[in-house]
Amino acid sequence: MSLKYIEQQLNLCVKCGNCRFNCPVFKTTLDEGGVARGKISILQILLKENEKFSQETLSYLDSCVVCGSCQYICPRDVDYLNIIEFARAKAVKDNQISRAKKIFLNLLKDNKNLKFASFVKSVFSRKSGLIFKLPKIKRHFPLPDKPMKKRVKHYNKPEGDRKFDVLFFPGCATRFVFSDTGYKLVKVLNRLGVGVYFDEDLRCCGFPHLTAGDSETFEELRGFNLNVFENYKEKVKYIVSGCATCGSNLSRNYNLPVEFVDINALLLDVLEYKPKKRLDIDTYFHHPCHLMKHQGVKEQPEKLLDFVSNRKKMEGEDFCCGFGGSFSIFEAEKSKSIGDKKAEMIKNSIKGNFDKSLIVTSCPGCIIQLNDSIKRNNLPLKTVHIIDLIYSEMEE
């Protein structure tokens, strides 16, 4: 992305303020620098090729969850996501990235590091459900689970007549933290006549690196994964993921040799899945930003939940949960404030009827954030992946 293109996009913004209505950071801080038009105003003045950003400017650049809500609602179609990625890449190039963030991004780069994290499971007990607490940032995170490699085969045969094969791209969180959900996704597709390949060599999609400004590592990860994808272009009909963020990145920033499809769209639009029975439970769906706003997948999960449960409308169902990957760690207080606002919306929607209520979403990151927010606000609820619910229906 060239500086000239970014300058053109910056000048497209007419400062109408529409982005203020959807921006989760602005909604909780009321700081103009936290919203898209504020950052654009700053960058129009300060984005100079040979000049470093001030610490104040860097703090404004960090104060973005990269949910895309501003771009989704922008009447001028300002390419804000590429603007923020370009500005952060400039900061990294100028060596204006913290050592802690460098270490974090480096951990995600290599599967060996993520596999090692699974060792935590043998040290901490999972009996409490969620969890251990990171002391400095005071956030609840689920413990790593068994890696996907120990749950599924390289090729998982369909039950009955085979319709087609897919390559499953689980993403880091599903692969090492929510591998049970990954296993269930494979089994659901197998039961619907779809063969599923799982390639152990696939690495992080690189979205955390791209949005943090580490474009060099992103290019390395993208190139590696594309080489793996090439091996399957004659074998599979689709690449599929149950992670909204990975799906957004693959469809937006990869030139894929095989068509990508999100699991919700695959189940509803391609496989025309309808359950044999309806679960006796009230569900409230949280729309992941990277699914609805980045990929345009909105109706599919809603219809799937209508089929399998008693879906109810939730206040702010498309309001960002505030996770944003590394944002939840390095901008922990802002992330928690957004999560608290989301928890309040959930509480207002359920109105005390918690017994048979369940929050459902389709993004591992959102699950982490929502469960942390729910726990912190003492709500007797939990959040699950939509695949967990569909698998339950098939099992009953």
The model's pLDDT over 74-113, given as tens digits with 9 standing for 90+, comes to 999 999 999 999 999 999 999 998 888 888 888 787 776 6
Provide the domain count of the chain: 2
Report residue 137's pLDDT band, with 50, 70 and 90 as the boundaries: low
Residue % of the chain over a pLDDT of 70: 93
Distances in Å between the alpha carbon of 157 and those of 167, 241, 388?
Answer: 12, 18, 20
Domain boundary among 93, 128, 148: 93
The pLDDT score that the predictor gives to residue 117 is 53
The pLDDT score that the predictor gives to residue 338 is 96
Rg of the chain (C-alpha set): 21
* Boundaries of domain holding 67: 3-93
Q: Which two tokens stand for residue 147?
A: 């890696």
Phi, psi for 236 (deg, rounded to 5): -125, 155
Half-sphere exposure of residue 53, counting CA atoms within 13 Å on the CB side? 25
Say if 298 falls within a structural domain.
Answer: yes
Domain boundary among 93, 127, 144: 93
Half-sphere exposure of residue 380, counting CA atoms within 13 Å on the CB side? 6
Domain at 34, CATH number: 1.10.1060.10
> What sign results for the dihedral spanned by CA atoms 364, 88, 342, 300?
negative
Say if 52 falls within a structural domain.
Answer: yes
In terms of phi and psi (left: phi > 0; alpha: psi -120 to 50; beta: otherwise), the region of 66 is left
The pLDDT score that the predictor gives to residue 50 is 79
Say if 317 falls within a structural domain.
Answer: yes
Rounded Cα gap, residues 50 and 37, in angstroms: 23
3-state DSSP assignment of residue 183 = helix
Phi, psi for 31 (deg, rounded to 5): -100, 120
CA 251, 334, 22: angle at the middle one, nearest 5?
55
Contacts of 255 (CB under 8 A, 6+ apart): 226
Q: Are 374 and 382 in contact (CB under 8 A)?
A: yes
Domain at 390, CATH number: 3.40.50
Domain boundary among 93, 117, 133: 93
Say if 195 falls within a structural domain.
Answer: no
The pLDDT score that the predictor gives to residue 116 is 54
Contacts of 366 (CB under 8 A, 6+ apart): 244, 286, 288, 321, 323, 383
Say if 250 falls within a structural domain.
Answer: no
Amino acid code (one letter) for 391: Y
The pLDDT score that the predictor gives to residue 221 is 96
Q: Are 256 and 230 in contact (CB under 8 A)?
A: no
Say if 206 falls within a structural domain.
Answer: no
DSSP label at 309? Answer: S
| DSSP, residue by residue, 379-393 | -S--EEEHHHHHHHH
Rounded Cα gap, residues 250 and 245, in angstroms: 9
Say if 126 falls within a structural domain.
Answer: no
The pLDDT score that the predictor gives to residue 136 is 55
Give residue-wise pLDDT tens across range 229-267: 999 999 999 999 999 999 999 999 999 999 999 999 999
Rounded Cα gap, residues 124 and 95, in angstroms: 36
Say if 222 falls within a structural domain.
Answer: no
3-state DSSP assignment of residue 168 = strand
Contacts of 357 (CB under 8 A, 6+ apart): 281, 282, 283, 284, 350, 381
